[in-house]
Amino acid sequence: MPISQAEKIWMDGDLVDWQDATIHVLSHAVHYGSGVFEGIRAYETSRGPAVWHLDEHLKRLYRSAKLYHLDIPFSREALTQATADVILANELRACYIRPLVLRGYGEMGVNPLDAPVNVVIAVWPWGAYLGEEALEQGVRIKISSWRRNPQNSLPAAAKATGQYINSVLAKVESLKAGYDEAIMLNEAGMVTDGSGENVFIVRDGVLTTPPIAAGCLDGITRASVIRIARDLGYEVREENLVRTDLYNADECFFTGTAAEITPIREVDDRAVGEGHRGPVTKELQGAFFAATKGDDERYLAWLTFVRDA
């Protein structure tokens, strides 16, 4: 998806012009994937732009950094303020937000510990990740021939840049085979997640999503959807799924910051349910987007209104 350029990027404490937010080609992260990052969205509300679950995303960023012994040289409060500042500086009403902490220039070799650390927060306008029509029509997916990183090789608990090479393999395989997205299984053959989304099925009115221990990312949208679904009266289970559970589901959908709630209409050339967005998915989308706009009092605490930050 092309990046639509904004004006300013927050980098190491300052707002710099978009084209000046650069690093050296010999930076450690470029060679060894030694960065950690987040993907966040800010939504337009009647009180101006509001960041969805900013605290949770920043907490996950610090957890990812801890796993890789990466000390972020800014407090969480400072990055909260920086996020608000960069959105306001770019005069964006809604946007995608990409915080990135990377091992910078100065050392070569696998040992990252002496490399300097750069911190970046970029924002830009971004529409629906899998296409606007996908939110209604749903996407076609393939079970990838690539397995998800085993937990003791590259832990799903961290969102590290280098780990996404695994997702890249799965995503490209699915696109080249004519699908929109991939789902990866773990070494035991259980469903984990998409290349950048968690997955849910609906069967007989009950929602099921794989447990985090299956090897999927502990998605913030996943947690929000579990809560919203329970508030709507649905039973939600976190249980292992095999690929045929996806084929035989009444409904299936992705959740993620980028994908929001995207219906899955086909898995491995088998229509899911009626082969289009189902009623539960539609109801959840309605409740989710109301919450992101600040229209549901119950979930207001999930929004950080940037003008008040």
**8 Å CB contact between 170 and 182:** yes
Nearer to ligand PLP, 82 or 261 (CB): 261
- 105, two tokens: 């220039």
Please tell me the distance from the alpha carbon of residue 227 to that of residue 75, in angstroms, as a whole number. Answer: 29
Nearer to ligand PLP, 70 or 216 (CB): 216
Angular region, 25: left φ>0, alpha ψ -120 to 50, beta rest = alpha
- 103, two tokens: 């091992």
Nearer to ligand PLP, 68 or 105 (CB): 68
**8 Å CB contact between 52 and 42:** yes
User: Closest separation between CB of residue 13 and ligand PLP, Å?
Assistant: 25
- 240, two tokens: 């292992």
- 150, two tokens: 């085993």
Using DSSP, state whether 7 is helix, strand or coil. Answer: coil
Nearer to ligand PLP, 117 or 156 (CB): 156
Annotated catalytic, 59? Answer: no
**8 Å CB contact between 113 and 104:** no
User: Closest separation between CB of residue 212 and ligand PLP, Å?
Assistant: 10
Binding site for ligand PLP (CB under 6 A): 39, 167, 193, 196-198, 216-217, 219-222, 255-257
**8 Å CB contact between 193 and 149:** no
Half-sphere exposure of 293 (CA within 13 A, CB side): 8
Residues 6+ apart with CB under 8 A from 298: 231, 291
Please tell me the distance from the alpha carbon of residue 115 to that of residue 69, in angstroms, as a whole number. Answer: 12
Give the count of beta carbons closer than 10 Å to the beta carbon of residue 106. Answer: 12
User: Closest separation between CB of residue 152 and ligand PLP, Å?
Assistant: 17
User: Closest separation between CB of residue 39 and ligand PLP, Å?
Assistant: 5
User: Closest separation between CB of residue 220 and ligand PLP, Å?
Assistant: 4
Please tell me the distance from the alpha carbon of residue 76 to that of residue 120, in angstroms, as a whole number. Answer: 13
User: 8, 142, 159, 171: which is the annotated catalytic residue?
Assistant: 159
In this structure, the strands spanning 251-256 and 260-267 are antiparallel
Nearer to ligand PLP, 99 or 112 (CB): 99
User: Closest separation between CB of residue 137 and ligand PLP, Å?
Assistant: 21
Nearer to ligand PLP, 161 or 257 (CB): 257
Nearer to ligand PLP, 49 or 99 (CB): 99
User: Closest separation between CB of residue 255 and ligand PLP, Å?
Assistant: 6
Using DSSP, state whether 88 is helix, strand or coil. Answer: helix
Please tell me the distance from the alpha carbon of residue 292 to that of residue 39, in angstroms, as a whole number. Answer: 15
Which residues are part of the catalytic machinery?
Answer: 159
